[in-house]
Structure 1
Amino acid sequence: MSSGYPSDYEDIFQLILNLVEETKREGNAERRITADDLENYFHRLTMGSLGEYEFMRRMAFYGHPVMRIAALPVLWRDYGQPVSPDFIVGLGEEKACVEVKNYKWDNHAEGFIIPKRSADNCIQFKKFFKYDRSCLAVKRFERWYMLDLEKVDKSSYYDNYLISYDELSKSDMLNESAVTFKLWTPHQFQKGAKKYAPVPKDFTHEGVLYSDINTEESRDFIRLQFCSGNGKVQPNEENCQVRQFKSTQMDIIKIVHQTIESNLKEVYSCGYDWQAAIALNIEDIIPSVFSIHDRLRGEVSIDELQGDINTLASSGIVFHAERKECLFYLYRIASRLYTELSEHLQKDGLTFKDIMGYMKAVHSFKKAF
Structure 2
Amino acid sequence: MTEADAALASQLEAMKRRRRELRELREAEEAQILRSLRDINGRRAASEMAMAEATAVAASPRAASRASEASLPAGSDARDYNARRLERQRAKEPQLRSDQQALQRRRQVLEQQRLALNRRLEELATGEKARVAELADRIDRRQADSARGLRRQMELAARREEKVDDVDRANRAVQDALAGAELSRQPSTSYHAESILNEISSLRQFYIANGGADAQTLKRMTDMMNEALELERIKNDRQPWRREKEEAQKRRQAALLDAENRRLYEDLQALQERNREVMRAFANTEAADAAPSARSFGGFGGPAGGTGGFGAATAQFGNPPPAAAAATPRQLPEFQPWRQAPQPIGRRSKNGRA
TM range (shorter): under 0.3
Q: Which has the higher contact order (CA 8 A, sep 6+)?
A: 1
Greater share of helix residues, 1 or 2? 2
Report the TM-score, using the length of structure 1 for normalisation.
0.17
Flag the structure with larger Rg: 2
